Amino acid sequence: MKKTLRIFMLILSCSLVMAGKPIQASAPEAVATLEAKPGFNVSRMVVCLSVDNKEPVGETNTFTASTQQVYCFVELADITDEKISMVWSLEDKEQSKAELTVKPGKRYRTYGSKNIYGKKGNWKVAVLDSQGNSVKDLAFKVEEGAPAENITEKP
Protein backbone atom coordinates (compact mmCIF):
# COMPACT_ATOMS: atom_id res chain seq x y z
CA MET A 1 0.00 0.00 0.00
CA LYS A 2 2.87 2.39 0.85
CA LYS A 3 4.44 1.70 -2.53
CA THR A 4 1.16 2.43 -4.34
CA LEU A 5 0.72 5.62 -2.34
CA ARG A 6 4.27 6.76 -3.25
CA ILE A 7 3.67 6.09 -6.96
CA PHE A 8 0.36 7.97 -6.77
CA MET A 9 2.07 10.92 -5.05
CA LEU A 10 4.88 10.91 -7.63
CA ILE A 11 2.39 10.95 -10.52
CA LEU A 12 0.37 13.68 -8.83
CA SER A 13 3.52 15.79 -8.25
CA CYS A 14 4.59 15.44 -11.89
CA SER A 15 1.10 16.40 -13.04
CA LEU A 16 1.10 19.52 -10.88
CA VAL A 17 4.55 20.57 -12.14
CA MET A 18 3.54 20.08 -15.77
CA ALA A 19 0.26 21.92 -15.27
CA GLY A 20 2.14 25.08 -14.43
CA LYS A 21 4.16 25.04 -17.68
CA PRO A 22 2.82 25.48 -21.18
CA ILE A 23 3.40 22.50 -23.43
CA GLN A 24 5.17 23.44 -26.64
CA ALA A 25 5.32 21.51 -29.89
CA SER A 26 8.81 20.36 -30.80
CA ALA A 27 8.40 20.95 -34.53
CA PRO A 28 6.81 23.91 -36.36
CA GLU A 29 4.75 21.55 -38.50
CA ALA A 30 3.01 20.31 -35.35
CA VAL A 31 1.06 23.58 -35.24
CA ALA A 32 -1.46 23.74 -38.08
CA THR A 33 -3.13 26.92 -39.28
CA LEU A 34 -6.47 26.32 -40.91
CA GLU A 35 -7.08 28.67 -43.80
CA ALA A 36 -10.12 28.40 -46.00
CA LYS A 37 -9.19 28.09 -49.66
CA PRO A 38 -11.55 29.45 -52.27
CA GLY A 39 -13.46 26.93 -54.36
CA PHE A 40 -11.83 28.26 -57.56
CA ASN A 41 -8.89 30.17 -59.00
CA VAL A 42 -9.28 33.31 -61.11
CA SER A 43 -7.11 32.75 -64.17
CA ARG A 44 -8.29 35.88 -66.02
CA MET A 45 -10.31 38.93 -65.00
CA VAL A 46 -10.87 42.07 -67.08
CA VAL A 47 -13.29 44.98 -67.30
CA CYS A 48 -14.53 45.74 -70.79
CA LEU A 49 -17.19 47.37 -72.97
CA SER A 50 -18.96 44.10 -73.86
CA VAL A 51 -18.67 40.32 -74.06
CA ASP A 52 -19.07 38.49 -77.37
CA ASN A 53 -18.91 34.72 -77.89
CA LYS A 54 -17.73 34.26 -74.28
CA GLU A 55 -14.78 36.62 -74.75
CA PRO A 56 -14.27 40.23 -73.53
CA VAL A 57 -14.40 43.04 -76.11
CA GLY A 58 -12.94 46.50 -75.55
CA GLU A 59 -10.79 45.76 -72.49
CA THR A 60 -9.81 48.94 -70.68
CA ASN A 61 -9.26 50.35 -67.21
CA THR A 62 -10.72 53.79 -68.07
CA PHE A 63 -14.26 54.44 -69.29
CA THR A 64 -15.92 57.68 -70.35
CA ALA A 65 -18.81 59.06 -68.35
CA SER A 66 -21.01 58.46 -71.41
CA THR A 67 -20.46 54.68 -71.11
CA GLN A 68 -23.75 53.19 -69.97
CA GLN A 69 -22.61 49.71 -68.95
CA VAL A 70 -19.32 48.13 -67.85
CA TYR A 71 -18.70 44.38 -67.98
CA CYS A 72 -16.44 42.26 -65.80
CA PHE A 73 -15.34 39.06 -67.52
CA VAL A 74 -13.81 36.28 -65.40
CA GLU A 75 -12.27 32.97 -66.33
CA LEU A 76 -12.17 30.50 -63.46
CA ALA A 77 -10.12 27.33 -63.05
CA ASP A 78 -10.35 24.31 -60.73
CA ILE A 79 -13.89 25.14 -59.67
CA THR A 80 -15.58 23.36 -56.78
CA ASP A 81 -17.93 26.20 -55.71
CA GLU A 82 -21.28 26.51 -57.46
CA LYS A 83 -21.75 30.22 -56.78
CA ILE A 84 -19.58 33.32 -56.91
CA SER A 85 -20.46 36.96 -56.33
CA MET A 86 -19.39 40.18 -58.02
CA VAL A 87 -19.38 43.30 -55.90
CA TRP A 88 -19.21 46.68 -57.66
CA SER A 89 -17.95 49.64 -55.60
CA LEU A 90 -17.53 53.35 -56.31
CA GLU A 91 -15.05 55.22 -54.08
CA ASP A 92 -15.05 52.19 -51.70
CA LYS A 93 -18.85 52.28 -51.28
CA GLU A 94 -20.72 49.19 -52.45
CA GLN A 95 -23.06 49.97 -55.35
CA SER A 96 -24.33 46.49 -56.15
CA LYS A 97 -23.73 42.81 -55.59
CA ALA A 98 -24.73 39.99 -57.93
CA GLU A 99 -24.59 36.26 -57.32
CA LEU A 100 -23.60 34.14 -60.32
CA THR A 101 -24.02 30.39 -60.70
CA VAL A 102 -20.92 28.59 -61.98
CA LYS A 103 -20.38 25.00 -63.04
CA PRO A 104 -17.78 22.97 -61.11
CA GLY A 105 -14.96 21.72 -63.33
CA LYS A 106 -11.57 22.61 -64.76
CA ARG A 107 -12.56 25.86 -66.53
CA TYR A 108 -15.55 28.21 -66.61
CA ARG A 109 -16.05 31.65 -68.17
CA THR A 110 -18.73 34.07 -67.05
CA TYR A 111 -19.36 37.78 -66.70
CA GLY A 112 -21.37 40.37 -64.85
CA SER A 113 -22.25 43.92 -65.77
CA LYS A 114 -23.05 47.19 -64.07
CA ASN A 115 -25.00 50.18 -65.35
CA ILE A 116 -22.81 53.08 -64.26
CA TYR A 117 -25.18 55.95 -65.17
CA GLY A 118 -22.30 58.37 -65.79
CA LYS A 119 -21.06 58.10 -62.18
CA LYS A 120 -17.48 59.31 -62.40
CA GLY A 121 -14.76 58.21 -60.02
CA ASN A 122 -12.68 55.26 -58.89
CA TRP A 123 -14.53 51.98 -59.28
CA LYS A 124 -13.67 48.46 -58.20
CA VAL A 125 -15.22 45.10 -58.96
CA ALA A 126 -14.44 42.17 -56.67
CA VAL A 127 -15.05 38.46 -57.15
CA LEU A 128 -16.08 36.67 -53.95
CA ASP A 129 -16.22 32.96 -53.21
CA SER A 130 -19.30 31.22 -51.83
CA GLN A 131 -18.18 32.11 -48.27
CA GLY A 132 -18.05 35.84 -49.10
CA ASN A 133 -14.23 36.07 -49.17
CA SER A 134 -12.67 38.33 -51.80
CA VAL A 135 -10.62 36.23 -54.22
CA LYS A 136 -9.62 38.96 -56.68
CA ASP A 137 -10.54 42.57 -57.43
CA LEU A 138 -9.91 44.97 -60.27
CA ALA A 139 -9.89 48.77 -60.21
CA PHE A 140 -11.04 51.03 -63.05
CA LYS A 141 -11.98 54.69 -63.58
CA VAL A 142 -14.94 56.47 -65.08
CA GLU A 143 -14.05 60.00 -66.23
CA GLU A 144 -14.65 62.61 -68.92
CA GLY A 145 -12.80 62.17 -72.22
CA ALA A 146 -12.05 59.35 -74.62
CA PRO A 147 -10.03 56.35 -73.38
CA ALA A 148 -9.09 55.21 -76.93
CA GLU A 149 -5.44 54.53 -76.06
CA ASN A 150 -6.44 52.18 -73.23
CA ILE A 151 -8.85 49.96 -75.17
CA THR A 152 -7.71 46.55 -76.31
CA GLU A 153 -9.88 45.02 -79.03
CA LYS A 154 -9.97 41.25 -79.48
CA PRO A 155 -10.15 40.02 -83.09
Longest dimension (CA), the chain: 96
Q: What is the pLDDT of residues 127-152, one digit of tens each?
A: 999 999 999 999 999 998 755 445 55
Can you give the pTM of this predicted structure? 0.71
- Tell whether 27 is covered by a domain: no
pLDDT of residue 37: 80
Q: What is the pLDDT of residues 2-61, one digit of tens each?
A: 555 455 454 545 444 445 544 444 444 433 445 568 899 999 999 999 999 999 999 999
- Tell whether 22 is covered by a domain: no
- Tell whether 88 is covered by a domain: yes
pLDDT of residue 70: 97
Percent of the chain with pLDDT over 70: 70
- Tell whether 97 is covered by a domain: yes
- Tell whether 63 is covered by a domain: yes
| Residues 6+ positions from 42 with CB-CB distance below 8 Å | 74, 75, 76, 77, 127, 135, 136
| Total of domains in the chain | 1
- Tell whether 33 is covered by a domain: no
pLDDT of residue 31: 39
pLDDT of residue 15: 47
Burial class (CB in 10 A: 0-12, 13-18, 19+), 136: middle
- Tell whether 82 is covered by a domain: yes
Q: Which domain holds residue 57?
A: 41-150
Looking up residue 121, the CATH number of its domain turns out to be 2.60.40.10
